[in-house]
Amino acid sequence: MVALAVTVYFWSFMLVTSLILFPVALLIRLVTAPFDRRLVLLHRFTSFWGSLYTWGNPLWSVEISGQEHLVSMKPRVMVANHQSFADILLLFRLHTHYKWVSKVENFRVPLIGWNMSLNRYIRIERGSIRGNLKMMRDCEKALEEGNSVMIFPEGTRSEDGKMRPFKEGAFELALRTRSAVLPIVIAGTAEALPKRGILLHGKHRMQVRILPPILPDSFQGKDARQLSQEVAALMATTLATGVAAARG
């Protein structure tokens, strides 16, 4: 009964706050657009907005480690494993600047999707070669302009919490632009909010581990497939041994 009550509160809170905060986001975009070309302030506000749903959830506790790896101001290709809708909320808790790469359907969601468009997050049309090419061009442009990009290289959420094989696009992007790859490992979200369903499943500790960046010089001579497999193996090992145990 507690989980059901918190579930109703969670989704109701998300609806009410979205109704209130989207007009604020629109105002920020209008006011800051002339001088904030990368929309840094709008993304910071969006990070605050997204963080509300983990800050205000009594069933969830969040632990983040490795934040020292966010210090670099150079744009990076940020890659995270994907277990749950809650992953997105956790990654907003990093409070660092990036552009999301997200399926085009998410941009059609009222309020939240509209805010994604305001932020100029990057659309991907899955299953479309033309759409994938456009996504890569948009990512390259974002990196050139000084933005990091955030990608789920599995392409979709895992059914069982175990990592799916990585697609190569994020790593091809890193190779093309000579950008560092920043691996981020998420644990505990699959149990807290499974892929199928909207019910929150009791108390859970969710963890985010930011691994050291993989610098371009270290993957010189590798192709996207090799790089994707190496990063996936590194992240899978961290996930399997537990984010907390891997700390330090």
Sheet holding 122-124, edge to edge: 60-65, 204-210, 180-187, 76-80, 149-151, 99-103, 122-124
* CA angle in degrees (0–180, nearest 5) for 15-53-14: 0
Going by the DSSP 8-state scheme, the letter that residue 162 receives in this structure is S
Q: What is the pLDDT of residue 230?
A: 95
Predicted local distance difference test score (pLDDT) of residue 94: 96
pLDDT higher at 243 or 189: 189
pLDDT digits (tens, 9 = 90+) for 68-90: 999 877 899 999 999 889 999 99
Each residue's pLDDT tens digit, 220-245: 889 999 999 999 999 999 988 865 44
The pair of structure tokens assigned to 203 is 């108390």
Mean pLDDT, rounded, for 34-45:
97
pLDDT at 247: 41
Quick one: CA torsion of 135, 136, 139, 143, rounded to 10 degrees?
-170
Which residues, in sequence order, are CB contacts of 126 under 8 Å at separation 6+? 103, 104, 155
Q: What's the pLDDT at 244?
A: 47
- Contact between 46 and 119 (Cβ < 8 Å): yes
| Residue whose C-alpha is closest to residue 19's, from 58, 49, 57 | 49
Return the pLDDT at 101.
96
- Averaged pLDDT of the chain: 90
Overall average pLDDT of the 31-54 stretch:
96
Q: Cα separations (Å) of 21 from 115, 145, 197?
A: 10, 27, 25
Model pLDDT for residues 43-71, shown as the tens digit of each residue: 999 999 999 999 988 889 999 999 999 98
Give residue limits of the domains in the chain: 2-241
- What would the mean pLDDT of 128-142 be, rounded to a whole number? 91
Tell me the pLDDT band of 161, cut-offs 50, 70 and 90: low
Is residue 184 within 8 Å of 91, Cβ to Cβ?
yes
Q: State mean pLDDT over 125-152.
A: 92
Residue with the bigger pLDDT between 232 and 203: it is 232
Pick among 3.40.1050.10, 3.40.1130.10, 3.30.460.80, 1.10.20.10: CATH of 2-241: 3.40.1130.10
96: pLDDT strictly greater than 80: yes
Buried/exposed code over 185-207 (b: 16+ C-beta within 10 A; e: otherwise): bbbbbbbbbbbeeeebeeebebb
Phi first, then psi: give them for residue 222, nearest 5 degrees: -95, 155
Between CA 103 and CA 156 the distance in angstroms is 9
pLDDT in tens, 119-132: 999 999 877 788 88
The predicted pLDDT at position 110 comes to 96
